Structure 1
Amino acid sequence: MQPLCPAYILHSRPFQDNKLLLQLLMPEQGRVSAVIRKRQGKQRFALQPFQLFTVALSGRSSLKTVTTLDELAPAVRFNGKFLFSALYLNELICRLWPDDMAAEQLFDHYQHSLVALEQAQHTPEMLEPCLREFEFSLLTELGLQIDWQHAADGAPLLADLQYLWQPEQGFVVAGRGWSGTVLQAIGQNNWQHTDALKVAKQVSRQLLAPLLGDKPLHSRALFNALG
Structure 2
Amino acid sequence: MLSSLLASYILHRRALGEDKLILQLLLPEVGRISAVVRKRTGKQRVSLQPFQAYSIQLTGRSELKTISRIEELAPAFNLQGKVLFSAMYINELICRIWPNDLASDQLFNLYQHSLEQLTGVTDLTEQLEPCLRQFEFELLIELGIAIDWAYDYSGQAISCHQHYQWLSEQGFVPAKTGWLGQHLLNIAAKEWADPDTRRCAKQISRILLAPLLGSKPLASKALFN
TM-score by length of 2: 0.96
d(CA) in 1 for partners of 2:31, 2:146? 20
| 1:107 paired residue number | 108
| 2:35 paired residue number | 34
| 1:84 paired residue number | 85
| 1:118 paired residue number | 119
1:194 is displaced (CA, Å) by 5.2
Q: Secondary structure at the match of 1:11?
A: strand
- Aligned pairs (5 A) from 1:148-167: 148-167=149-168
**Moved beyond 6 Å, runs of 4+:** none
d(CA) in 1 for partners of 2:215, 2:149? 28
TM-score by length of 1: 0.95
| 1:183 paired residue number | 184
1:40 is displaced (CA, Å) by 7.1
d(CA) in 2 for partners of 1:67, 1:194? 48
d(CA) in 2 for partners of 1:186, 1:165? 15
Paired AA for residue 56 in structure 1: Q
Q: Which moved more, 1:123-132 or 1:11-20?
A: 123-132
Contact 1:26/1:103 (CA < 8 Å) preserved in 2? no
1:179-221 Cα deviation digits (max 9, x unpaired): 1111011011110245110100010011111110000000011
Q: Secondary structure at the match of 2:207?
A: helix
d(CA) in 1 for partners of 2:98, 2:195? 32
Q: Secondary structure at the match of 1:107?
A: helix
1:165 is displaced (CA, Å) by 0.6
Coordinate RMSD, CA, aligned: 1.3
Q: Percent identity?
A: 55
How many residues are paired up?
Answer: 223
Q: Which consecutive unaligned segments of at least 5 residues does structure 1 have?
A: none
Q: Which consecutive unaligned segments of at least 5 residues does structure 2 have?
A: none
- Aligned pairs (5 A) from 1:15-94: 15-39=16-40, 42-94=43-95
Contact 2:137/2:205 (CA < 8 Å) preserved in 1? yes
Q: Secondary structure at the match of 1:160?
A: coil
d(CA) in 2 for partners of 1:11, 1:151? 38
Paired AA for residue 222 in structure 2: A
